[in-house]
Amino acid sequence: MTDGERVESAVAQDLIAWARTRLGEEASPAVVFEHISAALREHLGRWIGADAFDALAGRAAHLERARFAPLRRAEWRPSETPALTGVEAELGPDADPFAPILFILTALVDLLGRFIGQEMACRLVRDGLIDTPDATQQYAEEAT
């Protein structure tokens, strides 16, 4: 894993933690992903447009299919519900159910970073969602 992938993976992990804090630790991976997907589409859509976000999301899922076997049938369609399909049946009983989300979100941040730079992509995603006043308070409370 490169330093860039570590940074992007950390942003993805933060997004998952942020969503689980907002929704409750018992929230299923599908519900967590739906929440993250909708929030990212709304937030990033302001900057790059909803169609561009949808294209990045689709490309992120496509790239991860080759790297992570449980995603070989995955489709991420942010404008639809469910946004992520084709994953559940592919995970083994001992697999981390949030791993597919982590891989796809990491790929999304990486792709966005290729256009606007890694630091800006990480800031745009992290600061736009996690560091909003409402989210910051909830995220901080969870960390204590």
3-state DSSP call for residue 75?
Answer: strand
Q: How far apart are CA 45 and CA 113, in angstroms?
A: 15
pLDDT at 82: 64
Confirm if 37 and 78 have CB atoms less than 8 A apart: yes
Closest CA to 120 of 6, 8, 16, 5: 8
Domain coordinates of the chain in residue numbers? 3-143
pLDDT top residue among 84 and 3: 84
Q: Per residue in 79-135, pLDDT tens?
A: 776 667 666 656 677 778 888 889 999 999 999 999 999 999 998 988 878 765 454
Tokens found for residue 77: 């369609």
94-113 residues labelled b (16+ CB within 10 A) or e (exposed): eeeebebbbbbbbbbbbbbb
CB 36 within 8 A of CB 74: no
Model confidence at 138: pLDDT above 50: no
Average pLDDT along the chain: 81
Where are the alpha helices (H) located in 49-131, listed in sequence order?
A: 50-67, 99-116, 118-125
